[in-house]
Structure 1
Amino acid sequence: MTGTTGDSRSLGEIVGDLTNDLTTLVKAELDLARTELKSEAAKAGKGAGMLGGAGVSGLLALILASFALSYLLDNWMPVELAFLITTLLWAVVAAVLAARGRSELKKSNPQLPKTQRTLKEDAAWVKAQKN
């Protein structure tokens, strides 16, 4: 801005300056948001990678624990029966988790009602500003 008073500028100059200032402000805010988002995405990526590694490690531990259980049961029964019991145990766990997961998915509401409501309020506000 040139630092002149509002009286010496025409209405077109004032609107032009206001438009330029608003554009500059929006660009600066978008740059700030982009910078913050990149930083947070990098942190989230590291965390997700570590959780993935933990999942793989947990799966390997589960497999080895299943073998250990089967060989422990082998002390009292044939090895085939011990492995069958371990397999049936994990099948029951999988069925229970699948049933719980399905019921949780049925409870979810993918329509995002709060977001839809606020977007409608924003649209109403914009319409009110036009009038």
Structure 2
Amino acid sequence: MASDASTTAPAVPTDPADKSVGDLVRNLSEDLSRLVRDEIHLAQAEVGAKAKKAGIGIGAFGGAGVIALYGLGVLIAAAVLGLSAAVPAWLAALIIGVVLFVVAGVAALVGRKKLQQAAPPVPTRAIESTKADVAEIKESIKR
């Protein structure tokens, strides 16, 4: 038995001008919901990618810092030994220690300033895309 296409399901108009207000509101709700979900997924992906890059960078800096610390220890010992040829060993160690504390203080001040200037990892592309979507929705509502 052949089935007629017109008896199986009512035809849904494809032209928005032919759709009912209820259909348009339902479509708007579905599209808006999908858009919000997609924007959230985009923001999560963007922040995740930035966090991964930052983690790798921090790990590399940490490894470099440990190796540099060993090298600095050797240089400090050499400085104390070299200065002890001119002054008593205890005085050489004291002078080098004071110099190191001054250098550490300057480094701490520079680090604090850089941390204050650092921007939080914000999903800038997702925010811009969301703003564009909102503007587009507002423009289509005005029509």
Give the TM-score of the pair, scaled to structure 1.
Answer: 0.63
Residue of structure 1 equivalent to 2:125? none
Structure showing greater radius of gyration is 2
**Among residues 39, 43, 48, which one is paired with 2:49 in the alignment?**
39
1:87 aligns with 2:97: yes
Give the Å deviation of 1:97. Answer: 4.9
Asked whether the 8 Å contact 2:13–2:19 carries over to 1, the reply is: no
Q: Relative CO higher for 1 or 2, CA cutoff 8 Å, sep ≥ 6?
A: 2
Residue of structure 2 equivalent to 1:75? 85
The correspondence of residues 14-33 of structure 1 with structure 2, limited to 5 A, is: 14-33=24-43
SS in 1 for 2:16: coil
5+ residue gaps, structure 1: 110-121, 123-128
Give the TM-score of the pair, scaled to structure 2.
Answer: 0.59
1:64 aligns with 2:60: no
5+ residue gaps, structure 2: 1-11, 118-130, 132-137, 139-143
RMSD of aligned C-alpha atoms? Answer: 3.1
Aligned-residue identity in percent: 36
Query: 1:88-111 CA deviation, whole Å, 9 max, x = no partner?
Result: 22233345556x55x959xx69xx
Q: How many residues are aligned here?
A: 107
